[in-house]
Amino acid sequence: MKKEPQQNLHLIFNPKTVAVIGASENPAKLGSHVMKSLLQDDGFRGRIVPVNPNGGEIMGISSVSSVTEIKGSVDLAIVVVPAGAVPGVFQECGKKGVGGIVLITAGFKEIDDPAGAELQSRLAEIAMAEGMPVIGPNTFGIVNRTIDLNASFTPEFSHVERGGVSIVSQSGGISHLLAFMAMKEHVGISKIIGLGNRLNIDFAEILPYLVEDPDTQVIILYLEGLDDPRKLMDAARNTGGKKPILAMKAGSAESGNRASLSHTGSVAGRQEVYKAAMIQSGILPMESTEALMDIARALSLCPLPGGPRMAVLTGQAGPGMVACDTCERYGLQIASFQESTQAAINNLLPPLAIRTNPVDMGPAWYDSAAIKGIMRAAAEDENTDGILLLMMFASANRGAVSYLSDFLLDWRQKKPVVTCLVSPAGIWDDEVLRLERAGALVNLPTPERAAKVMASLWQYKHKTWR
């Protein structure tokens, strides 16, 4: 008896041999972009076999005319031939016993013509009979940054940084958006998965795989509409909260609903019902792509706060005030320091400064020992569960980030440190990024986004997601 398709998922994300069926050197064909992606930079370290009936070399690699001619096993076949040719290719893949398929070709269930849906059903039968998992059709592909596998038509995905966030999306456009946001904001990614029309691998099948995947720490889902939402909710509940699962559901608008129907063949359901069901199943509903990336990054880098009591340390009063506003709006508290902490801070700041929480460290800008001392006192205080650190660059505080870096590195992973350290390009960026990569902090571009991220860490920990 054949295996369930999802049992082979590990194989297609970690293949030794990849066949590209429909490989091409013609830049107007997706088959050329897929080859480029596999070869991008140092490229995929396994074996790549282009399959094209015309034979010859493709991008310097000898091709074969059919997948059945490949010697040894094929773990992943990427299929980019025209829709009509796909059933034949699937049968050959079955005969060869390939581990699984990424079907990039479009023109199936998502088109208005019922012939598209019929063709997709036929493919599903072949794939199920052979126990082959199929990502797609109508997808850009999959990426596993952990092993440098870029099985997509977008070579630039190979430039996304490696890390613990995995993205699963029903929309190729949103996957591209999130991946490019990750590049810009240095979010480390493990997998990018375009589910497309979900022939036999849907959210409910991919989720358990990612929850067990040791390279994935945080899972992002982008949903439009599901045929069977309960299946996803059950799958999420069954993971037992082992990893954070963040989801954004589009399609609240009437017009968007029309688009969804024709986009990936499903109707987007009622937004509020989805939201409630997600929360009950342990999925964190997110309201924007920006929040999705901010919070996923923080969850992949930060320890969780043990409580809602924050120390707010600022280089200037204004950003501290804005952060406090946001903290209280999202259910965090501004900690009351222990007496010993307050005494230590009072020793380090002049009497006329704002020394209670939020602490204005401005007067200590020139004094590395004072800045470090304030930070240490606030961090070690038993009444604080996390630290929000906000500093805008000015000539007088140019050294402030480096003054703090030893302490931040020592302190890392003890309590969350979420920062808003902002300077013109080229001043603090590299140092802040180094600290973030070392797990010493998570930096956001505005005080509001920093405070909101901290609130989300607490809501996740406390299971009080709203």
Could you say which residues in the range 34-53 bind a copy of itself, by CB under 8 A?
A: 36
Residue 412's nearest CA partner among 451, 438, 378, 386 is 438
Q: Which residues in the 332-351 window bind a copy of itself by CB under 8 A?
A: 334, 351
Q: Which residues in the 209-238 window bind a copy of itself by CB under 8 A?
A: 222, 224
Q: Which of the stretches 64-72, 89-97, 108-116, 230-238 binds a copy of itself when contact is defined by CB under 8 A?
A: 108-116
* Closest CB 453 distance from a copy of itself, rounded Å: 13
* Closest CB 172 distance from a copy of itself, rounded Å: 6
User: Cα torsion for 367, 370, 375, 377, to the nearest 10°?
Assistant: 180
Q: Phi first, then psi: what are they for 343, rounded to 5°?
A: -65, -40
* Closest CB 328 distance from a copy of itself, rounded Å: 4
Q: Which residues in the 126-165 window bind a copy of itself by CB under 8 A?
A: 140, 153-156, 159
* Closest CB 318 distance from a copy of itself, rounded Å: 3
Q: How many residues bind a copy of itself (CB under 8 A)?
A: 88
Q: Judged by CB under 8 A, which of 15, 22, 188, 315 binds a copy of itself?
A: 315
* Closest CB 141 distance from a copy of itself, rounded Å: 11
If the CB atoms of residues 211 and 292 are measured against a copy of itself, the closer one turns out to be 292
* Closest CB 338 distance from a copy of itself, rounded Å: 17
> Is residue 173 at the binding interface for a copy of itself, with CB under 8 A as the rule?
yes
Q: What angle do CA 118, 123, 226 make, to 5 degrees?
A: 70
User: How many CB atoms are located within 10 Å of the residue 69 CB?
Assistant: 13
Q: Judged by CB under 8 A, which of 129, 343, 394, 433 binds a copy of itself?
A: 394
> Is residue 254 at the binding interface for a copy of itself, with CB under 8 A as the rule?
yes
* Closest CB 240 distance from a copy of itself, rounded Å: 30
Q: Which residues in the 1-30 window bind a copy of itself by CB under 8 A?
A: 28, 30
DSSP 331: T
Over the window 349 to 368, marking each residue x when it contacts a copy of itself by CB under 8 A and - when it does not, the resulting string is: --xx-x-xxx-x-----x--
Q: Angle between the 368-380 and 400-411 helix axes, to the nearest 10 degrees?
A: 30
Residue 66's nearest CA partner among 39, 31, 37, 93 is 93
If the CB atoms of residues 291 and 409 are measured against a copy of itself, the closer one turns out to be 291
What HEC string does 218-235 produce? Answer: EEEEEECCCCCHHHHHHH
> Is residue 328 at the binding interface for a copy of itself, with CB under 8 A as the rule?
yes
Pairing verdict, β 57-58 and 47-51: unpaired
If the CB atoms of residues 66 and 289 are measured against a copy of itself, the closer one turns out to be 289
C-alpha 127: how far from its chain's center? 28
Pairing verdict, β 57-58 and 61-62: antiparallel
Q: Which residues in the 283-312 window bind a copy of itself by CB under 8 A?
A: 288-290, 312
CB environment 71-89: b (16+ within 10 A), e (fewer): eeebbbbbbbbebeebeeb
Tokens of 82: 């025209």
* Closest CB 30 distance from a copy of itself, rounded Å: 7
Q: Judged by CB under 8 A, which of 325, 382, 406, 410 binds a copy of itself?
A: 325
Q: From residue 87, how far is each of 20, 68, 103, 157, 216 by CA, in Å?
A: 16, 15, 11, 29, 33
Q: Which residues in the 436-455 window bind a copy of itself by CB under 8 A?
A: 445-449
> Is residue 255 at the binding interface for a copy of itself, with CB under 8 A as the rule?
yes
Asked if 326 and 403 touch (Cβ cutoff 8 Å), the reply is no
Q: 395, exposed or middle or buried, with CB in 10 Å at 0-12, 13-18, 19+?
A: exposed
